[in-house]
Structure 1
Amino acid sequence: MVSESTRLSAQDWTRAALKAIADGGLAAVAVEPLARTLGVTKGSFYAHYRNRDELIAAALAEWERSHGDEGLAEFAAITDPEQRLRELLTTVVHAVAPLTPSVHLSLLGDRNDPRVKDVVRRVNRARLDMLTRTYRELGLPPDRARSRARVAYAAILGLVHLAQTDPDAPHSAVLADEAVAVFLPSR
């Protein structure tokens, strides 16, 4: 339990909200249960946020920041498109752990909420744009690059989904090698 003299930051609450979203969608973001999880009173929450909606907005903004354009900046900086794709696929597949909840997949359950719809759309767009640009740089024509990007992205989301439900998923190193073999165009 966090002592009352220990102050939680707004970021601590945002991280807790993101974990709750991954575990149960927006409905799982509730002040009292989060306070219990964090080992503090709900007064700590009100030192940072006026209400639950502000916390949800902060959590969605953090998820977008870390998983959209800003989160992809490290990969965007890789100038060799083959290396960029290899690094991106390897990193994503290694991050997929069996039975681990996903914020992205949980948000799909709340996809009709305008806040969620907009954030997921922007994150999807950032990821698809990077993949499309990478495939263009690898020599695919624009239409094929867009199509290949969509299929690769769908496969990545599918791996995340399978990992949430399959405790016997293959080791991530094997999956990373397969993803690279499937989605890196042959020259």
Structure 2
Amino acid sequence: MATSSETLSTEDWLAVARETLIREGVEAVKIDRLARACNVTRGGFYWRFKSREDLLDQLLKDWRTSNTTPFLAALSGPGTPAERYRSLIRLWLDEHDFNPDYDTAVRNWANSSPKVAAVVHTVDDIRMDALRGVFLDAGYDEDEALVRARITYFHQVGYYALGLNEAQKARAGLADIYYRILTGFELEDGRPVRNGRTRSAR
């Protein structure tokens, strides 16, 4: 990382703030600590931000964009509803474009900030609505699409909140079972099944 106040980019500062938030919580995201981590003076911070509150606002915006854009891209991409759902599974399993630790850290932050809690609530609604759209496209009615979207989303949030630390291989090995139970789709053709009868997707 660059060490000149002028050459440190906004992203440089946000990267350090993000790591600090994930590792130690929002109370540790302080100007002095970040400046020391960046090897610059406190004054260097003000090249990029008006205040700590400005930094926190931009950090929250960074989370909203970086962890939600890939989520929506997976569900709105090409392919059948089943293929799009599997794209989301890969996103969660790979943990490259989606950072679950960042999600958890922001949710913990929301416990002490109504403002952050409101943003998290909005983001959760956006993500669940995208999931609901996949289930609607698969042929489920409005209510069932909503419930399946919620169950899928609540399951994943809970998985991270519980900190299961399951080995990647073990987690991937259960993916098809989760897929079948959470979606009701057949593994072979990706169409939803009810009472033993396959239903046509929209």
| Short-chain TM bin | 0.7 to 0.9
The one-letter amino acid paired with 2:144 is R
Question: Is 1:14 aligned to residue 26 of structure 2?
Answer: no
Pairing of 1:33-182 with structure 2 (within 5 A): 33-68=33-68, 70-75=69-74, 76-95=76-95, 102-111=101-110, 112-162=112-162, 164=163, 166=165, 169-171=167-169, 172-182=171-181
Alignment root-mean-square deviation, CA: 2.5
Aligned residue pairs total: 181
Aligned-residue sequence identity (percent) comes to 28
Gaps (5+ residues) in structure 2?
186-191, 193-202
Separation (CA, whole Å) in 2 of partners of 1:17 and 1:38: 10
Bigger Rg over Cα = 2
Q: 1:78 to 1:28 in 2, by over 3 A?
A: farther
Calculate the TM-score normalised by the size of structure 2. Answer: 0.78
Separation (CA, whole Å) in 2 of partners of 1:127 and 1:87: 14
The one-letter amino acid paired with 1:159 is Y
Q: 1:177 to 1:12 in 2, by over 3 A?
A: farther
Q: Which moved more, 1:105-114 or 1:14-23?
A: 105-114
SS of equivalent to 1:110: helix
Q: Quick check: 2:5–2:40 contact (8 Å CA) kept in 1?
A: no
Separation (CA, whole Å) in 2 of partners of 1:38 and 1:180: 43
1:104-140 CA distances to partner (integer Å, 9 max, x unpaired)? 2222333241321122012101110011111111111
Q: Which moved more, 1:149-158 or 1:14-23?
A: 14-23
1:16-66 CA distances to partner (integer Å, 9 max, x unpaired)? 222222223321211111122223322221100011000000000111112
SS of equivalent to 2:48: coil
**Runs of 4 or more off by more than 4 Å in structure 1?**
none
